[in-house]
Chains A and B, each alone.
Chain A
C-alpha cells in the first residue's frame, strides 16, 4: 500500500493496470486498450511485463487533459478471468470507502 506518489521505478511482478483520476471530476479511471479511460476496472488494459507497463504509463500520462496522476497498480486475475484490485488501497479506490457513511454515496 505504499503510496504510488512515491512510485519511483517501474518493476511489476504480476498483472497490472494504469489508473488515474479523471481531470474534470477526480473520479477513479483506468486506461483502456483503446487509448481511452474508463471508470470500470473490467475495461482496463492489463499488462504483465515491466516494458509493457512502462509503455502504457507513458501513453496514459501523455493524456494530461483526460486524467491526472497516472500510475501503475496491481490487479488480481481470478479464476474465470474476473479482475480484482491488487491491494487494499486500490480496492478502496475501486469500490469506495470501507466505512458506513451517514449519507450514502
Chain B
C-alpha cells in the first residue's frame, strides 16, 4: 500500500472545497454549463444518458480495504448500490446527483481517493500491472514509478490542457498484464547490460476509431531520467499535436503522421534542449517514494499446506483454485483473482455489499489490500495458501468465486448504450447472453483461454480491437449491428483483430460467437493450442466460412 503524505492529503481536500464551490455556483446559475463542463470533467464527472457519471481513480489499481469500504459507501449512499470497474483501473458510479457530488468526493477524500484527471484532456490515471509487487520474476515493483509519474503529472499546468487525453501504463514483468502497447506511452521496466534499472519507452498506441500498436522510441531510458524523458514526449505532443480536429488529436496520430523515427528524433532533440530542469530523480527521491509503499510481513509458510491438500479432494474448490489462483513471489502465498463476471451479470459490476465483503476478506486474508485489473476483475494479492479453502467458501457466498478467469465468459465490456451517451449499441446484454451460452464451466475450461471484448461504439472502451474475439456495436438504419473481429490480443504480443465479415444484427451475435468457438474447437491442432494461436496459424478464412456459409 502507498501512504499519502500531508501534501497529497491537503491537495485532495482543497480540491473538494474548490469543486463544492463550483457546483454551488453552477446550481445557482452563476456558472453556465459551458463554463462548468471543463471543471466537472477535471473532476471525473460526465453526463450520460440517464444521469451524471462519476469516475474515480484507483492509481495503479491498488486499494486498501478502508478505501474499498468508502467506495461501497458512495455506491450505497449516493448511487444505486453498485459500481462499475473499468478497463483503466477506475470505478464508475452511474447514477450520481450533481448536488451530492461534493459530499461524495469529501467522503472519498477521507481515505485518500479522488477523481482528479479521470476525464478531460490531461494525464489520466497512470495504470500498472494488478500483480505489481507480488508477481514472480518481476524486475521490481512498477508502482514506485507509477507513483513518481502520478505525482509529477497531477495538476501539472503544462499537461492540464493537452491536445487530447493522455494515458500511461507501466509493466515490470515479462508477461504484460497492463496492456502497455495500447497506451499513449507504454513503459516496460527492465535492466540493461550493466544491471541498471530503466525503461523501454513505447509511444503512440491506442484504440478508438484509428487503432495503433505502440512503437518503441527508446529501448532504454535510465530510471533516474524517466520523468524528464516523459516530459520531453509530452512537450513534443503539446507542440505538434492536432488541436483542430478531435479525431486526429491523440499522440498516436502524430506518431503515425511524423513516422516513428522522426518523432523519436524530435523527442531526443527536445530532451537534450531541456537540459537539467530539476527532473532527474536522485536515489533519495526514488527511495522516499519507495519507503511510502508498505509490504506485508509475510510468514515463512510451506509450499503445500495440509489445508490445501485436503481441499484438493473437493472438485468444485479445485476447479476454482486452478482457474483463479496464481503463483506469488513468496512461498506459501498466492494471488487470487475475484471474477466480477458471474453468469448473467454485467461485467465489472460490484454491489456495495460485495465491496464490503471483499474489504472484510482482504482484512482477514490479504493484509487489507485489493487490486483492480484492466480486465475488470479484482484480486487479493497476498493470500496464504492455507487460507485458500476458507476464502473460496466466503467468496462463493457473495457470488465472487465464478471459476471463469481468462475464459470465454470473462468478458470485457464497456457500459454501452444502456448507460453511455456516445454509444451506438448495447454491450452489456450481449455479454450477459454470451455468459449464459457458455455457462457450463467445464465446457468453458475445455475451450481454454479466450478473451471476448465488447465495445458499444468506435471509441473502443471495451478494447474490442485487441480481444481474441472483438465485438463492436454499430448502427445501421436505426438498428443495432455488430462487427466481429478475431485474432486480436492486448499482451506483449499485442495486435489488432481482423474483421471476419459483414456486421450481424443484435439477435444473431451470440449464435455467431458460438459458431466461431465451435470452428476453433474443430480446427485447433491440440487442446493446448489457444484460440488466438489457431487464428494466427490458419487466418480468419475458416472462421469466416463457418459464420457466413449459412447466413
Contacts and interface: CB of A to CB of B under 8 A. Distances in A.
Interface of A: 1-3, 5, 21, 23-28, 64-65, 68-69, 87-89, 92-93, 96-103, 105
B51 A27 contact: yes
A78 B405 CA distance: 47
Given A23-B27, A28-B50, A97-B419, A68 B33 contact: yes
A103 B80 contact: yes
B492 interface: no
A23 B417 CA distance: 21
B22 interface: no
Interface in B22-52: 26-29, 32-33, 47-52
Find the residue from A25, A26, A89 having the highest chain B CB count within 10 A. A26
Given A88-B480, A100-B432, A25 B51 contact: yes
B418 interface: yes
B30 to A, nearest CB: 10
Closest 4 CB pairs of A and B: A26-B51, A103-B81, A25-B97, A26-B52
B422 interface: yes
A27 B96 CA distance: 10
Contact of A99 (B26, B52, B99, B428): B428
Contacts of B97: 24-26
Contact of B82 (A24, A87, A102): A102
B27 A69 contact: no
A3 B475 CA distance: 10
B345 interface: yes
A92 B49 contact: yes
A25 B47 CA distance: 10
B505 interface: no
A2 B475 contact: yes
A51 to B, nearest CB: 24
Contacts of A97: 50, 418-419, 428
Contacts of B95: 26, 105
6 contacts: A2-B424, A21-B50, A21-B51, A24-B99, A103-B80, A103-B351
Contacts of A23: 26-27, 33, 98
Given A100-B432, A103-B82, 14 more contacts: A1-B478, A2-B475, A3-B424, A21-B50, A23-B33, A27-B51, A64-B32, A68-B47, A92-B50, A92-B417, A93-B49, A99-B426, A99-B429, A103-B80
B50 A93 contact: yes
